[in-house]
Amino acid sequence: MTKEILKVGFISMALMGCQAVDKDGPSTSKSTAASTQSTPSKEAPKTAGKTTTKSVKAAKKEVVFDPRNPPPGFTTCHRNHCHRVGGGVASYQQVMQEIGATKSINVPKRKPMPKAPADVAGPPADAQVTASGLASKVLKKGDGGKRPQLTDVVTVHYTGWQTNGKGFDSSVARGKPATFPLNRVIAGWSEGVQLMTIGEERRFWIPENLAYKGRQGAPQGMLVFDVELLEIK
C-alpha cells in the first residue's frame, strides 16, 4: 500500500507540474508573440513612409533649360547656342550640361535649309568688293571690337547656296555652330571672316577661284554664304 500511495503521489505531483507549465507556457508564448508583432507594426510603416516621400521629392526635382530665359552666366540664346556673359558661346547641349538640366523646353526642332536670298545670283551694287574679287555686304553689325586673324579659331553659323538658289550646307539647319581654324578653309572664307567682328552677320559672294576652284564633287561656280561670327578663340 505504501508503495502504491507513493506512486500515486508522484504521478499527482507530475500532473500538477505539467499543468503549471501549461498555464505559464501559453501565457509567456502569447506575450512574446504580441511583443514581436507590435515592434514591426509601429516602425515599418513610418520607415516606409519616409522612403516614399523622399522618392517622390527626388522624382519631382528637375532643372529645366529654357532658351527664352537664359540661365545665369548667359545673355541671349538662339540658333542652338547661348552667348556667355563676357564673351564666348555654348551650344544648348553644353549649357544643359553646365546647369545640370534634366529637360529642355521651347527648343525649336531642326530647321529646314534657309531660303536663298533675293540677291543670290550676284552681288548687288552696294556690296563691298576687295582686291581679290571677294564681295560682301553687312546684314547685321557686330560689336565693333576685335577682328579674327588668319591663325585664330572661330565659331560661326553659316548657310551656303549656289547662284541658282540651291542650298548645299547650313549649320543653322543643323542647329549647331561650326568651329574651325581660319587658315584651314577656302580662301574666300579666310579673307572674308577677317573683316568681321563678334556678333556680325555678313553675306559673301565668293568667286570660284576663291572657293573650290572647280574641284570635282564640290559646289561649283560662285558661292554665296551668310555668315554670323560668334566667337574668336
Could you say which of 169, 198, 206, 226 is catalytic?
A: 169
pLDDT for the residue 107? 86
Question: pTM of the full predicted structure?
Answer: 0.60
Question: For the chain, which residues make up each domain, given as ranges?
Answer: 1-57, 64-104, 128-232
Q: Are 160 and 169 in contact (CB under 8 A)?
A: yes
Any catalytic annotation for residue 152?
no
- Does 225 participate in catalysis according to the annotation? yes
Catalytic residue among 10, 105, 168, 180: 168
| The listed CATH number (3.40.640.10, 3.30.420.10, 1.20.1090.10, 3.10.50.40) that belongs to domain 128-232 | 3.10.50.40
- Give dist(CA 148, CA 94) in Å, integer: 24
Write down the catalytic residue from 74, 206, 225, 226.
Answer: 225
pLDDT score at 8: 41
| Active-site residue, 232 included | no
Res. 79: pLDDT tops 50: yes
Annotated active-site residue 158? The verdict is yes
Task: Pick the closest to residue 199 from 88, 67, 102 (CA basis).
Answer: 88
Among all chains, which residue has been given the C-alpha cell 555686304? Answer: 137
β strands within the chain, DSSP E:
64-65, 74-78, 81-84, 89-91, 103-104, 128-129, 135-140, 153-162, 167-170, 178-181, 201-206, 223-232
The helix/strand count (H/E) of the chain reads as 4, 12
**Nearest one of 201, 226, 222 to 211, comparing CA atoms:** 222
Q: Is 92 considered catalytic here?
A: no
Does the annotation count 204 as an active-site position? no
All three cell numbers of 177, joined, read 555652330
- Which whole number is the average pLDDT over 91-101? 92
